[in-house]
Amino acid sequence: MSVLLLIILTVIPSLPTLTGSTNNYYNEPTDNKGSYTDCSITHDFGNITNISSSAFNTPIKQRQSYDIQGVINIKKKLQGGILHIIVTHPFKNYINLTFVDAKYNLCDMIVSFIGEYCPLKPGIYHGKFENTIPSLYWPGKYHFKALAYDENDDEIYCGMIEVDIKK
């Protein structure tokens, strides 16, 4: 009996991230063949343009470096916020495995992207982010999603990309 209870308590809370639904928050298909998709609700706060990456439209290998570049146009002063990163893998097109579901200090991430500290004044900023694909990721398609929220917890940005990782 206690084993059954342990299984229920372990499996039930994880079911929302293990669904194959295309409406699942964690696995919104981009259907963009590796291109960037702006999924922002509004552009009242600002927007990102001229986005390019070495990971767009081409398979990328485990432990391979990639970069993302873009121009950020901020229309309102940014005091602080949260950056929510989600990385999922549709395993065998049956369940979604969440590899990353983490929240970071938006200002810390902005420093690594554009080299400026919060508060950010309205204006145009050029940014570049470099990273390496971890060897932890299995070969296959991955959905990367980034959401940014300001200090009032209002969504100010949403971007998605589907990446094909090779061994």
Please tell me whether the peptide bond between 139 and the residue prior to it is cis, using omega within 30 degrees of 0: no
Reduced to 3 states, what is the DSSP secondary structure of residue 12? helix
User: Which phi and psi angles does 12 have, rounded to 5°?
Assistant: -55, -50
**What is the helix (H) or strand (E) element at residue 7, kind and residue range?**
helix 2-11
For residue 69 the two structure tokens come to 């570049």
| Distance in angstroms (rounded) separating the CA atoms of residues 32 and 126 | 24
Report pTM.
Answer: 0.76
Each residue's pLDDT tens digit, 97-151 = 999 999 999 999 999 889 999 999 999 999 998 889 888 888 889 899 999 999 9
The answer to whether residues 138 and 97 touch, using CB atoms and an 8 Å cutoff, is no
Each residue's pLDDT tens digit, 49-69 = 888 888 787 888 889 998 889
Reduced to 3 states, what is the DSSP secondary structure of residue 156? strand
Q: Which residues contact 15 (CB under 8 A, 6 or more apart)?
A: none
CATH for 42-165? 2.60.40.770
The answer to whether residues 120 and 145 touch, using CB atoms and an 8 Å cutoff, is no
The answer to whether residues 64 and 121 touch, using CB atoms and an 8 Å cutoff, is no
The pLDDT score that the predictor gives to residue 138 is: 85
Residue 165 or residue 54, greater confidence: 165
Domain boundaries, the chain: 42-165
